[in-house]
Amino acid sequence: MSELTPDQERRYNRQLIMPEIGQEGQVRLRASSVLVVGTGGLGSPVLFYLAGAGVGRLGILDDDQVDLSNLQRQILHRTDGLGMDKVESARQALQRLNPDVALDLHKCRLTEENASSLIAPYDVVVGAVDNLATRYVLNAACVMMRKPLVEAGVSGFSGMATTIIPTKTPCYHCLFPRPEAGLQEPRYKGIIGALAGLMGTIEALETIKLLLGQGELLTGRLLFVDSLSMGFREIDVERNPECPICKDENGTTRSPSRASPNDH
Ligand SMILES: [Zn+2]
């Protein structure tokens, strides 16, 4: 792989001097691609930090336009961008930050029909969505395509995060089985912007570790954050051998273990 340019050496200096990254890691990041599903409160910091770190290609997926009520937490977007497509608003912000990063704009909603083809070209997928239905669609597609999925969710002052390596770690459905009889979206409790920033930043860190092959991932672990008490707790989780989404064809022997979001 080619060396870094002098500008890249300078831009990434603070991470190039880290033993966990260095030239080799930086070249690896440059050769990597990540799809970020959603450019809201979670997706904004994910995209900013991945672009800042020099991830070579970022896919930006959102079908929405910038609304005044977004700006309290969705830090990619600006007041002068009201009404603009969020993917375009994100493109402008990220290009200003780091013109080296290639950006793919996907102005659409993730559906069962398009999910596989959308995630296929990317190394890692980040879930930064605000509804349960899309979370299940994304999880199923990532399991089918064997794509690592970094997940997080936020509600009020509380957040959750986990990292999913399909067939090796519990998938989202193992942890939160989708109810048979329809899907009831939880009552919207509002959200404090700084918490979305914190959980999105955790997702960005998980993604960078995944791409570099460094550190311990949040795999088989669910991290819960209660920002009112500033309590960070985690629980160990296991795959559900009967999970209809990620069950091995030849069967697994591990015992089922399920977590509820209320376990903390
Ligand atoms: Zn599963």
Q: Express each pLDDT in 16-62 by its tens digit.
A: 999 999 999 999 999 999 999 999 999 999 999 999 999 999 999 99
Q: Ligand 1: distance of its center to the CA of 139 in Å?
A: 9
Domain for residue 157, yes or no? yes
* 4, 30, 52, 99, 169 from 1: Cα distances, Å: 9, 10, 21, 20, 31
Looking at residue 257, its pLDDT comes to 43
Domain for residue 183, yes or no? yes
Q: Ligand 1: distance of its center to the CA of 176 in Å?
A: 9
Looking at residue 194, its pLDDT comes to 97
Residues 127 and 94: their CA atoms lie apart, in Å, by: 19
The residue type found at 52 is: G
Q: Ligand 1: distance of its center to the CA of 42 in Å?
A: 23
Domain for residue 7, yes or no? no
Residues 6+ apart with CB under 8 A from 80: none
Residue 53 near residue 27, CB atoms below 8 Å = no
Domain for residue 247, yes or no? no
Q: Ligand 1: distance of its center to the CA of 82 in Å?
A: 39
Domain for residue 262, yes or no? no
Q: Ligand 1: distance of its center to the CA of 145 in Å?
A: 14
Of 226, 218, 214, 215, the residue nearest 202 (C-alpha): 218
Domain for residue 249, yes or no? no
Residue 102 near residue 95, CB atoms below 8 Å = no
Q: Ligand 1: distance of its center to the CA of 243 in Å?
A: 5
Print the domain residue range for 203.
32-236
SS3 (DSSP) at 70: helix
Q: Ligand 1: distance of its center to the CA of 209 in Å?
A: 23
Q: Ligand 1: distance of its center to the CA of 170 in Å?
A: 5
Query: Near ion ligand 1, which residues have CB within 5 Å?
Result: 171, 173-174, 243, 245-246
Residue 158 near residue 233, CB atoms below 8 Å = no
Domain for residue 169, yes or no? yes
Which CATH number do you get for residue 197? 3.40.50.720
Domain for residue 132, yes or no? yes
For residue 250, what pLDDT band results from cuts at 50, 70 and 90? low
- Average the pLDDT over 187-200 and give the result: 92
Q: Ligand 1: distance of its center to the CA of 31 in Å?
A: 30
- Average the pLDDT over 246-260 and give the result: 54
The domain tally of the chain equals 1
Q: For the chain, how long is the longest CA-to-CA vector?
A: 58
State the first-to-last Cα distance of the chain, in angstroms, to the nearest integer.
46
Looking at residue 187, its pLDDT comes to 72
Q: Ligand 1: distance of its center to the CA of 171 in Å?
A: 4
For 73-92, the pLDDT digits (tens) are 999 999 999 999 999 999 99
Residues 6+ apart with CB under 8 A from 111: 137
Q: Is the pLDDT of residue 9 over 80?
A: yes
Instruction: List alpha helices for the chain, DSSP H.
Output: 6-11, 13-16, 22-30, 43-53, 86-97, 115-119, 132-145, 172-175, 193-212
Looking at residue 248, its pLDDT comes to 79
- In order, the DSSP letters of 187-222 are PP--B-HHHHHHHHHHHHHHHHHHHHT-S--SBTEE
